[in-house]
Amino acid sequence: MTQTSSLAGVLERALTDAAADGRDLTPVSLTLDYGVGGDPGQVTIAARVDRATRSLVFAHGEALLPDGRRAASASAVFRVKGT
């Protein structure tokens, strides 16, 4: 079976990587808003942590096409395990 990437999967991984920063996390919420859509192999992903508390991490990310149009954006909340 061939595994294909989706914009949702690519953004989720980018948000998780940005939020982790050495923390052991579990996802609480993921919100995805599609723009013009696009091939996950053609997008540039930017992800950042908006806020981190002792027990929660809030992150936001975007997938941009080469021409600058937004393919999708996402926000996520992660719980720090053990808190």
Amino acid at 34: Y
**pLDDT at position 61, please?**
97
- Residue 14 sits in a domain whose CATH number is 3.10.129.10
Measured CA to CA, the distance from residue 8 to residue 63 in angstroms comes to 10
3-state secondary structure of 68: coil
Is 24 within the bounds of a domain? yes
Give the integer Cα–Cα distance in Å for 7 and 12.
8
pLDDT for the residue 60: 98
Determine, yes or no, domain membership for 2: no
Report if residue 37 sits inside a domain.
yes
pLDDT of the residue at 48: 97
Residue 1 falls within a domain, yes or no?
no
The confidence score (pLDDT) of residue 5 equals 75
Structural domain span for residue 57: 7-80
Residue 54 lies in a domain: yes
Domain count across the chain = 1
Angle at 20 between CA 29 and CA 7, to 5 degrees: 55
35 within a domain of the structure (yes/no) = yes
Across the chain, which has 83 residues, the per-10-residue mean pLDDT values are: 70 96 95 89 95 97 95 97 88
